[in-house]
Amino acid sequence: MHSPSRRDILSPSSRRTLETLPKQIVSEALRSCGKGFQPAVKFYLPKLLLGPIYHCFQYFSYIEVNFNKTFVFIYITFLFSS
């Protein structure tokens, strides 16, 4: 689900596109959107873009913890059943 967006966000072409935007045009567009919009985009957009990626990493850590607990439970059960 998040794999395509993760690839798009982290791709070098995406970074190049953001770096090649003319700063003057972007600055004027953000100023015309309303007071506080430019700082909001500056500080929150990166977090919003990386949110799905952190979400996946969190799930991977949950899976790893559950796998380790299950493995230990099965191992202990096997030891005491013999």
Closest by Cα among 60, 18, 57, 67 to 41: 18
Q: Which residue range(s) make up the domain with 18?
A: 3-81
Judge whether 53 and 4 are in contact, CB under 8 Å.
Answer: no
Judge whether 26 and 38 are in contact, CB under 8 Å.
Answer: no
pLDDT of residue 3: 66
pTM: 0.34
How confident is the model over 14-29, as a mean pLDDT?
76
Query: How many domains does the chain fold into?
Result: 1
- For 15, 47, 52, 62, the CA distances from 5, given in Å and listed in that order, are 14, 14, 8, 21
pLDDT of residue 2: 58
Closest by Cα among 9, 11, 16 to 51: 9
Is the pLDDT at 1 greater than 70? The verdict is no
Each residue's pLDDT tens digit, 29-81: 767 777 777 777 777 777 777 777 777 788 888 888 888 888 777 777 777 77
